[in-house]
């Protein structure tokens, strides 16, 4: 039985189910979905909307599902429409009627908005950590090459003498700005959409401030219609990643040029190079070329998301599944 199937008298055509389903994409949100549900039922019990006994039963069931997914004991299959349906179905199977109260005062619209925010927030922090490691590597090269003289270029022609430290310092500034952009995104996005319902809230006396607090948000979002249809933070994150990839691509372009026989500024280590099946003298900078090439894929994701969102009226539309 589907979460939305109350008024329907016919089963969904299998082709429609396959086309409509999002489980193949949103299954990666299983931990965020369960974390959000635990916060939701905790708040429901505090508000006396459900009993403490039901809360404990539901949370125990949710934690067991999370543990079984992580251990591989429970496999996420294509039988269900989305990760929310998958979790709820297995919860009811494990704990009975108490599991049916999980969805009280909640729509899949605010649920998926929450899952996406929790997941993206985690990815923003992970990206920031990776950039910090990259900056430390660049800083190490800079410190070791304060007196390493090299030509500076304009138009790929030798222009003025500089140091390698100065050259690497330019990339240091680029990636430092990238971290600043990620911080801005985090500050803007860290507000909780849960409690917005399908688009206009609910008649249940929810405590949205409490749910936001439990999930580490600064507070609840302020407009329920915007809450379920906002994907600005995803566009911003895609834009920030596109800029990061542009900086990485420029860096890799110089590695590729510097590694050529014509320049011979650097030699890429064998463990980070590939060869030729017919020309044994070749040592190819394939990894740097792949970073440069995959930049286009990230740009494509940004363009796709912008195009998906550009014509959508308020509030939620199924197009947003493509995010």
Do 136 and 70 fall into the same domain? Answer: no
Residue 17 within any structural domain of the chain: yes
pLDDT of 8 > 70? The answer is no
Find the CATH number of the domain harbouring 32: 1.10.275.10
Clarify whether residues 36 and 146 are in a common domain: no
Give the CATH number of the domain where residue 165 resides: 1.20.200.10
The string of pLDDT tens digits covering residues 152-175 is 999 999 999 999 999 999 999 999
Separation between Cα atoms, residue 96 and residue 285, nearest integer Å? 58
Check residue 3 and give its pLDDT: 58
Q: pLDDT digit string (tens) for 93-130? A: 999 999 999 999 999 999 999 999 999 999 999 999 99
Active site residues: 155, 276
pLDDT tens-digit profile of 52-69? Answer: 999 999 999 999 999 999
In this prediction, residue 49 carries a pLDDT of 98
Rounded to two decimals, the pTM is: 0.91
Q: Are 121 and 41 members of one domain?
A: no
Residues 83 and 167 in one domain: no
Q: Please indicate, yes or no, if residue 117 is contained in any of the structural domains.
A: yes
pLDDT digits (tens, 9 = 90+) for 232-273: 999 999 999 999 999 999 999 999 999 998 999 999 998 998
Burial of 10 (0-12, 13-18, 19+ CB in 10 A): exposed
Please check whether residues 73 and 177 belong to one and the same domain. Answer: no
The share of the chain scoring above pLDDT 90, in percent, equals: 84
In a domain, 8, yes or no: no
Q: Which domain holds residue 82?
A: 13-104
Residue 3 lies in a domain: no
Q: How confident is residue 323, by pLDDT bands cut at 50, 70 and 90?
A: confident
Q: What pLDDT was estimated at residue 7?
A: 59
Residue 4 lies in a domain: no
Say yes or no to pLDDT of 41 above 90: yes
Q: Kindly report the number of other CB atoms within 10 A of residue 277's CB atom.
A: 7
Q: What is the pLDDT of residue 300?
A: 97
Using the 3D structure, point to which of 70, 104, 138 is the last residue of a domain. 104
Residue 7 lies in a domain: no
């Amino acid at each position: 039985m589907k979460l939305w199937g109350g008024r329907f008298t016919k089963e969904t055509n299998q082709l429609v189910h396959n086309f409509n389903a999002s489980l193949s994409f949103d299954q990666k949100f299983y931990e965020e979905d369960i974390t959000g549900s635990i916060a939701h039922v905790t708040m429901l019990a505090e508000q006396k909307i459900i009993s403490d006994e039901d809360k404990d039963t539901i949370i125990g069931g949710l934690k067991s599902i999370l543990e079984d997914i992580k251990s591989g004991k429970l496999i996420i299959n294509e039988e269900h429409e989305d990760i929310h349906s998958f979790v709820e179905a297995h919860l009811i199977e494990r704990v009975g009627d108490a599991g049916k109260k999980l969805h009280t005062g909640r729509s899949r619209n605010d649920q998926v908005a929450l899952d996406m925010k929790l997941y993206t927030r985690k990815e923003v922090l992970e990206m920031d950590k990776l950039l910090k490691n990259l900056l430390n590597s660049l800083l190490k090269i800079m410190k070791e090459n304060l007196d390493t003289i090299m030509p500076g270029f304009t138009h790929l022609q030798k222009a003025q003498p500089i140091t390698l430290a100065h050259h690497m310092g330019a990339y240091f500034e680029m990636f430092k700005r990238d971290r600043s952009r990620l911080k801005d995104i985090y500050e803007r996005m860290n507000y909780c959409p849960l409690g917005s319902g399908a688009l206009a809230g609910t008649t249940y006396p929810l405590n949205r401030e409490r749910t936001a607090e439990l999930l580490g948000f600064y507070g609840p979002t302020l407009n329920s219609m915007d809450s379920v249809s906002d994907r600005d933070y995803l566009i911003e994150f895609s834009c920030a990643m596109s800029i990061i990839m542009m900086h990485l691509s420029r860096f890799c372009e110089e590695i590729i040029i510097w590694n050529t026989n014509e320049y011979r500024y650097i030699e890429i280590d064998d463990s980070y190079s590939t060869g030729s099946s017919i020309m044994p003298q070749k040592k190819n900078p394939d990894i740097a070329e792949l970073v440069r090439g995959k930049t286009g894929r990230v740009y494509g994701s940004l363009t796709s998301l912008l195009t998906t969102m550009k014509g959508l009226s308020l509030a939620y539309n199924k197009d947003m599944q493509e995010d």
